[in-house]
Amino acid sequence: MSVDSATVPLSSPQVQLAQGLFFAIVILGGLVLLPVVLLILALSKGPPPTSYMVNFLVGLFISSIGQTLLPLSGHLSDPAPPKGLCIAQMGLIYSGLTMGGIAAIMSVVRVR
């Protein structure tokens, strides 16, 4: 049975389950595990990590903060969230993804 996305209301159980699963993954992976990895890299006694890897992980962390602004502020189900919140979310998500993408490209190309 296929479900047309135009006919599924935002308050349906399927949409709420999908949103909950997505934000659980983003919060667990981006706001809990990424800082743990960065802390381990900072406190490790082995060779220092490359700046490309640290920039990549920090970029993903910044993007994760932006993705969780809407549900953490309580405006997830609002049809029109505040404009300032949308601008802050856009700035964090796009800047974090750009930072992570450039760091990934630099680690492959090894620009010095």
What are 43-89's pLDDT values in tens digits? 999 888 888 999 999 999 999 999 999 888 988 878 888 999 999 99
Backbone angles phi, psi at 4, to 5 degrees: -80, 130
Non-local (6+) Cβ contacts of 26 within 8 A are 64, 67, 68
2-53 pLDDT per residue, tens: 555 566 676 788 888 988 899 999 999 999 999 999 999 999 998 888 889 9
pLDDT at position 22: 92
- What amino acid occupies position 19? Q
